[in-house]
Amino acid sequence: MSKSYALLPCNGLDKCAGCISREVAIKVCENSDSEIICPVLYRVADARYNKIAQEKPLIVIDGCNTRCASRLASEKSLKIAQKINISDEAKANNIELHNSLKLNDEDFKLVNIIADNLLKEEEKVISSLDTDFPEKFEYEIYKKDKFIFRVPKEGFYFNENDCYVYVVGNRARIGVTDYVQQSLSDIMFFTPPAVGSEIEQFGEAGTIESGKAVFEVVSPVSGTVVAVNEKLLNSPELINENPYEKGWIEEIELSDFESDKELLYDFNKYFEIMKRKVDEFHV
């Protein structure tokens, strides 16, 4: 499969992390059919990159939490397929970032880890496996003012973080409930977990972001991520339309659902909890 990303690194010049973002983008480009968007030229003359940014999955690479590249993507209303933060990646890989702008072996090790993951990921991103998941469900509805909160009546389990799981055989789809999507309002970005990664119950399973907040998807189950809903990369608003149907987030091969289930709510329990939350907190 020919890899083809649009890469938007922050290219920061005053910090090591910014220089690493640039090196990651160059390495991915050298090993794939991807293209780099120069953040400065993009601001000065956006016609140069608009087409690339719209046609290819956009990977945004921020050096630090100032998130200049993400801010630029947001200002240009670009849809982001994946966000990478070099400082976070360094922590996750036990690599300490230093103050020098000259990159050392450890920095290039981090460059290789991130770039290799990106190059592998595209091969792994698949829309869904062969398992049959229903396309429609029946819902119980709770209304509050103009807001409608749906909860599917059968087959779903929920955690206290308003994430659901729907199990078929040894596979499951997970996602967020209506309570989350209504609270976030218009969802603009979806950052999936890496396909192939192991997730613990209550571990992070990607993030979704609106103009209001970033929401960490908390996995209701443990297992291995086997697919992500790639439609969300370009159309995260599907979560707003229906988070249980076209807005599902990812598929997981379950490792111990019987144990995980003990800490989950069924429909009756979650519906009561959700109603209470809506009455008490939802604005």
Partner 1 sequence: MADLKIGVLSCSGEECLGGTISRLATRKMLEELRPGQTVTLCLPLYLAGGEEERFFAKAFPVITVDGCSKCCAKRATEKYSGKVSDIVDVSEILGNDVALDKTVSTKDMTSQHMEMVDKVAKVICEKFDKIAENK
Residues that bind partner 1 (CB under 8 A): 9-15, 18-19, 22-23, 25-27, 30, 36-41, 43-45, 66, 68-69, 71-72, 101-103, 108
Work out the angle at residue 34's Cα, subtended by the Cα atoms of residues 31 and 38, and round it to the nearest 5 degrees: 115
Report the residue number, 45 or 263, with the smaller CB distance to partner 1.
45
* CB closer to partner 1 out of 109 and 269: 109
- Hey, what's the torsion of the CAs at 62, 66, 68, 70, to 10 degrees? 60
Strands 250-254 and 171-176, by their bridges, are: antiparallel
CA 274 to chain centre: 24
Nearer to partner 1, 71 or 120 (CB): 71
Looking at the Cβ atoms of 108 and 196, the one nearer to partner 1 is: 108
CB of 30 to partner 1, least distance (A): 8
Residue 38 or 254 with smaller CB distance to partner 1: 38
- Least distance in Å: CB of 216 to partner 1? 24
Give CA 241 to chain center in angstroms: 17
Beta strands per DSSP E along the chain:
6-9, 35-36, 58-62, 82-85, 139-144, 147-152, 156-158, 163-168, 171-176, 187-191, 198-199, 204-210, 214-218, 223-228, 250-254
Tell me how far, at minimum, the Cβ of 48 lies from partner 1, in Å: 9
Output the smallest distance, CB 102 to partner 1, in A: 8
* Minimum distance, C-beta of residue 4 to partner 1, in the bound complex (Å): 17
